[in-house]
Structure formats: structure tokens, C-alpha cells
Structure 1
Amino acid sequence: MAVQPEGTPCWADAMFSDVEGAKSFYGDVLGWTFGEASSEYGNYTQAYADGKAVAAVVPPMPGQEGQSAWCLYLASPDVHATAQKITVNGGEVLMKPMQVGDFGSMLIARDPSGVVFGVWQAGVHEGFEAKAVPGAYCWAEIFTRRPEKSDAFFPAVFGYGAKQLDDGAIDFRLFDLGEEPVLGRMKMTDEFPPEVPPYLNVYFTVADCDAAVAKATERGAILRFGPMGSPFGRFAALSDPQGAPFSVIDIRTTEGAMPETIDVS
């Protein structure tokens, strides 16, 4: 796998107080299998879809117990340089650049609107071994109440181009690298309770959206939105039994015409 362009979503992981419960839930809903926990790295445990590494779960470090959430990592050729750009552009580095053995280097940051994300400089671990196949990462969207903050920050740090959806009903933007869309940005409306913080919503691919939702809710997940058809696939938003938001999408079942966009780079 070639080194991924700066700003490409390249990995996702989540902290769970009940790791075994998370493994059981996602194993059932997404068909994941799991490797051995790495005691050297805080019992970090990789998840696999059809033998390909697609995500990881880990127990919280002491003092970091709290709401479970998925963290999306964006590729960087130099995490130290990215950390500087984050700070210069009004973001906050929550976890300073850290070497993770020969796997690579990472940091955790927050954009000026409150969205938490990771940055990954690949070593031997280059990131997702599969995308857009059942069980694997497919897409992600920044959900924020202050879109103007995110809209300025992410292109400044990662060099994204931007296209705004030409639709007065919703405030949605696409960030791209060249012609390749890599992230969405959605303005959070009043439908989101005030206690829900801004976040990065990660979409995992499934073969059948409705079946995945049925399995997830049977296992204790809460359905937040959908299932709904779209030109990109049939999708639904959920919170897992430990409160981590995520979405599932069947990209083979599409509906309607692709929306018009306006270049706002």
C-alpha cells in the first residue's frame, strides 16, 4: 500500500470500558474478528473484516474513562508539522505527537468547533487494509454546530478543496483531495440535544442496512436516524450499547440523483 495523501482518513479506533462487550457487539453487527490484545500498547486490539485490518478497540487509560466514541485518524507525512498547523489555525492538540513503536506516530486534536480527531504518520502500520467492503470503513462526516470554524480549519491544515451542497434545506459540505471526496461536514441542527458534543461520524459498510440495524438494536444499540435511501447508499445512524455514535451504509443500494454542488475552495 502506497503512503496515503495528507488528510486521507486512514484509521479508526475507539475506547470502550467494556472491551469484550464491544467486541461481541461489533462482531455480531459488522462481522468483525479480533486479533490478540497488545499488552505493550494498553491492550489495543485490532478488528478484521475478512482477514483485513479495519479498526481497533482499546480499554480507556486511567483517568480517561467516560463516553465511548470513535476516533478517525487523518494521514500526515509529519505529525509534528501537522501539530504546528493545528495550533496556528486555532485548533488544540490534546495528545502531543507520540511514537507508537515502529507502527507509526500519532496525535489527538480538537478543531476550533470542538470536533476531536486523530492524526497518523504511518510506519509499518499504514492504516485501513480494506475500505468500502462489508465490515470496513467507508466514509465519515464532521458534525458541528459552528461549521464556519471547521470549514476554515480543515482545509488550512490538510489542504482540502471544498464543495457546498446546493440545497437550502441542509448545510452540508464535501472536503476533497484532488477530485476525491474524503470527508463530509454537516451542520448540527436543533434536532441534536444540546448535550451531544460535536463529533466525527464514522460510517461502516454493510451488505444490508436494514438487517444491520435490526441486529444492532437487538443487541442494545439505539437507532438515531434511518434507515434511509440516498444516492450514496442506504444508511442509518446509531449509538452502540456503550454510547459511541456510528453509522452503517449499504453502498450497493442507491436511490435518487447525485446532488448538485458548488465549488467553495
Structure 2
Amino acid sequence: MPEVTAFPPGHPTWAELATPDPQASERFYRGLFGWYSYTLTVGDLGDYEIFTLGGVQGPEVAGMQALAYDSATASWTCYFRSDDLPATLAAAREAGGLETLEPTDIADLGRMALCSDPEGADFGLWYPYNLKGAGVVDEPSAMIWVELAARDIQRARRFYGAVFGWRAVDRDYYDSVYTHWKVGDRAVAGMVSMDEHWPPGYPSHWTPFFWVADCDASAARAVELGAQIRIPPTDIKPCRFCVVTDPTGARLGLVTPTTDVLAERERP
């Protein structure tokens, strides 16, 4: 499988699970995606689990750590590449976001920071040292897409345009407005409008999506492993997808892309 050598600024680069039960989460993701894992001890931050494909020596696909507080909820955090963490954080604050964790070295892997946008959706920034981010993307059992669910899509467009220089392009994949964010000609992320179909008070959030060979079979397997279906397998123009929450409550998407989309994403 082709491996990633670098991520340009503004591109999604890593996904990290925070869980109240690392052992249960490890069982789930091993059973669903066939991931392996190994443990790193990262100074004061404690143990950090790296998920891999094709064995422990395979390329990295995602990270996992235990929740820092008992009151916190399980979630996936999507990280985006930054060449200058202080400058990106300053742009986020100026655009109405918050810095929730100042730039921090993660051993020799890289330097990270955490932010939230004006609606409270959390995301991460990553500057690599020895870990560029995911070692493989756009492959089976690896991350293929990240998506923001937001109530004020105009405000979100202004914010992420200011922070990452993203250009918003509307698509008609849903009955409501769907946005592709682009860096140059490449779509790097999406945004769905949280309309009346969403539960009142449900917070804005980022969700990582992972490629599966058969969306329906993987959704059924996820349920066998303890997940709950939030959006059942559904066809849209670029893919068949579903959204689930894992046994600890973290939200993720499963995607089987169409052949046309695969051909487009393979273009340089």
C-alpha cells in the first residue's frame, strides 16, 4: 500500500481517540479494522497507544490515550498540519476560537496544540518531528475523510478560512447544504449543516471517517462489537457511508468510496 511521506499545511494529518476504557477500545478497533497497536510512554502524558496496519511494524493509522478526566466523554480528535503553531493559534484566537492546550512536545514525535472553533468543536494542530502523522491514508482501514458538523456554517467558513486558508465549495450530496473545504484543487475536509434533524443541543464536532470495503458489513460488525448506529448505511454521490458510536461513545464514520472518487483522489 502507498505510504504518506509528508502532509502539506492545512491537511488532516492524524486522528486520536480519547477513551475511558483503552482495553475495550483496543478490542473494538482491532475487531473492526484489523488494527494492531503498540504502546509509547510519553513523559508526563503517560501511555500513548499507536494503532497500525499490517502488524506492529506497519504504518501508523491513529492514536489513542485514556481520558484525562473522569467527567470527560469519549471522542475522536482530528489533527491538521501546521508549519507554525503559534501563528495558527493566533489566527484561531483572532477568528473567535480558543486555545485549549498550548503547544506541547510529544517526546520526539512532534509538537501539538489543541483548539476549539467558535461553536466549540475541538480540533488539533500538529507539527511533525519523527511522526509525520498517519503513515497511510485513503486506503482500506485507514482514514479517508474528516467532517465538521456545525450549526452556523457561515461562521465556520469564515473561521477555518482564516485559520487554514481553506476555500469553501458547496456540494449537493445531502438535502441540506454540504461544504467541501479545499486547499488548492484538493478537497481536504467537509462540513454538514446541523439542521432540525439533529437533536437539540447536540454540540458541533469533528468526525473522522475510515475506509471500509463494505459499509453494510462493517456497520453490522461494529454493532456485533458493541457500537451503535447513528446514521445507517446511506448512498450519496461519492460513497456509501454510515456513522456509529463505538462502545465507549466516540463518534466515527465508515465509508466505502465509489470508483470515481478513488480515481479523483489518486490524481496528483
Output the TM-score relative to the length of structure 2.
0.90
Aligned partner letter, 1:117: F
Q: Which residue of 1 aligns with 2:24?
A: 21
The 1-side partners of 2:9 and 2:40 are apart by 29
Larger deviation, residues 228-237 vs 37-46: 37-46
Aligned partner letter, 2:207: N
Give how far 1:165 is off: 2.0
Q: Which residue of 2 aligns with 1:55?
A: 62
Shift >6 Å, 4+ stretches: none
Q: Which residue of 1 aligns with 2:105?
A: 99
Give how far 1:252 is off: 4.4
Q: CA distance change for structure 1 residues 166 and 245 in 2, over 3 Å: closer, same or farther?
A: closer
Q: Which residue of 2 aligns with 1:261?
A: none
RMSD: 1.9
Q: Out of 99, 102, 118, which is 1:112 matched to?
A: 118
Q: CA distance change for structure 1 residues 167 and 48 in 2, over 3 Å: closer, same or farther?
A: closer
Conserved 8 A contact 2:42-2:107: no
The 2-side partners of 1:130 and 1:138 are apart by 10
Conserved 8 A contact 1:231-1:254: no
Percentage of pairs with the same residue: 29
> Is 1:74 matched up with 2:75?
no
Q: Which residue of 2 aligns with 1:4?
A: 7
Structure 1, gaps ≥5 residues long: 259-265
Q: Out of 156, 160, 163, which is 1:150 matched to?
A: 156
The 1-side partners of 2:139 and 2:165 are apart by 27
**Residue pairs, 1:169-248, within 5 angstroms:** 169-248=175-254
Give how far 1:3 is off: 3.9
The 2-side partners of 1:39 and 1:93 are apart by 22
Give how far 1:179 is off: 0.5
Give how far 1:251 is off: 1.6
Secondary structure at the aligned position of 1:44 is classed as strand
> Is 1:87 matched up with 2:93?
yes
Conserved 8 A contact 1:145-1:189: yes
Structure 2, gaps ≥5 residues long: none
Secondary structure at the aligned position of 2:47 is classed as coil
The 2-side partners of 1:148 and 1:229 are apart by 26
